[in-house]
Chains A and B, each alone.
Chain A
Amino acid sequence: DIVVTQSPDSLAVSLGERVTINCKSSQSVLHSDNKNYLGWYQQKPGQPPKLLIYWASTRKSGVPDRFSGSGSGTDFTLTISSLQAEDVADYYCQQYYSTPLTFGGGTKVEIK
């Protein structure tokens, strides 16, 4: 199984400031098609996860452009360029390079 590790577990940031969440996979999720098989999800309290980003850096239609994904191989980052109140949530990365699909442990983002 590919183990996916996120850091930090939680962080508190002031409104308008930058948020950076890291995700590391135990083996490369970069395929020979030059795509990274990794996605990011946002889960607000009491709601199901919602897809934010796929192919590590492609924003889903309708997702605000303050959310961006980067990285390749085994190391990835989700960035919120300017934290808004509605961004308070848990964030998860997920690899889909191989089954079983696996998720990171999650990062809780709060307002300082």
Chain B
Amino acid sequence: QLQLQESGPGLVKPSETLSLTCTVSGGSISSRDYSWDWIRQPPGKGLEWIGSFFSGGSTFYNPSLKSRVTIFIDTSNNQFSLKLTSLTAADTALYYCARGQENAALGKGWLDPWGQGTLVTVSS
């Protein structure tokens, strides 16, 4: 059974860079037909998709964050990571990693499973 676990700092200062890692167990991150995604949820609010790393090596980011986001994978450690620069208080959120189901027609699919999430607070 595939499991994902996020790790990273819980507190980051404004203007700094956030680095989070998602460790995948029970399956290979090199699998075809899946993407590796990051999603965030501000406290008490809804879900915002951050971006994906596709099995073919391409990445897609939410335009609202595109200039600040990088997602990359580390196949040797079965991990993928998120880097978000120039943080502000508006980036305070629960950050989730998830596996995305790719499909032949349009590329993207549903997200399943999800990690437990890690809370990141941006504050001085």
Contact = CB atoms under 8 A, between A and B. Distances in A.
Interface residues of B, number: 26
B47 A31 contact: no
Contact of B110 (A33, A51, A105): A51
Nearest to B111: A51
9 contacts: A37-B106, A48-B117, A50-B112, A60-B112, A94-B47, A100-B61, A100-B62, A105-B46, A106-B46
B60 A99 contact: yes
B112 A103 contact: no
Interface of A: 1, 31-33, 35, 37, 39, 41, 47-51, 54, 60, 92, 94, 96-106
Contacts of B106: 31, 37, 96-98
B109 A96 contact: yes
B116 interface: yes
A103 B49 contact: yes
B90 interface: no
A31 B112 CA distance: 21
* Residue in A48, A49, A50, A92 with the greatest tally of chain B CB atoms within 10 Å: A48
Contact of A49 (B47, B52, B60, B108): B47
A84 to B, nearest CB: 22
Interface in B79-113: 96, 101, 105-113
A99 B52 CA distance: 10
Given A33-B105, A48-B115, A92-B47, A100 B63 contact: yes
A101 B49 contact: yes
